[in-house]
């Protein structure tokens, strides 16, 4: 499941808090709200309910999805850095690391293909007649 999909299933105030805490905003042109602005927006007097929520399995599941999202971004940055260094300098360790990353990407691609194949199968089996 993707983080955005999971956030849609959470009570909107909690989702807004989570997006605020980790600065996950769609429109990055708008500055991040202050704590007081967030509290006014979600109509709460204190942040205590959010702090309590952080101890729940629901929050921990969202946190896991967020960390997976961040790890993917980090992987992309590392890949670009190693790829550039391997192309420019051609040092053995950079080339070897680049090839390892490439292998891992291929392995992950199989997982992605399975996920999207499952979604395609679901669409085909909707029992609609044309």
Domain ranges of the chain: 3-124
Q: What is the pLDDT of residue 90?
A: 76
Q: What is the mean pLDDT of the chain?
A: 84
pLDDT band, very low/low/confident/very high, at 129 (cuts 50, 70, 90): low
Do 58 and 11 contact (CB within 8 A), yes or no? Answer: no
The pLDDT tens digits of the residues spanning 1-51 come to 788 989 999 999 999 999 999 999 888 898 999 999 999 999 999 999 999
Tally helices (H) and strands (E) across the chain. 6, 0
> What integer is the mean pLDDT of 88-110?
79
Q: What is the pLDDT of residue 19?
A: 95
Do 41 and 33 contact (CB within 8 A), yes or no? Answer: yes
Q: What is the pLDDT of residue 82?
A: 82
């Amino acid at each position: 499941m993707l983080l955005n999909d999971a956030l849609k299933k959470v009570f909107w105030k909690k989702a807004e808090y989570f997006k605020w805490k980790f600065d996950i905003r769609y429109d990055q042109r708008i500055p991040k709200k202050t704590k007081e602005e967030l509290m006014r927006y979600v109509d709460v007097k204190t942040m205590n309910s959010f702090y309590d929520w952080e101890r729940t399995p629901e929050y921990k599941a969202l946190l896991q999805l967020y960390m997976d999202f961040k790890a993917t971004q980090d992987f992309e940055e590392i890949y670009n850095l190693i790829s550039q260094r391997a192309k420019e300098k051609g040092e053995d360790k950079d080339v070897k690391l680049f090839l390892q990353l490439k292998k891992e990407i291929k392995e992950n691609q199989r997982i992605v293909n399975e996920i999207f194949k499952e979604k395609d199968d679901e669409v085909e089996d909707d029992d609609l007649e044309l």
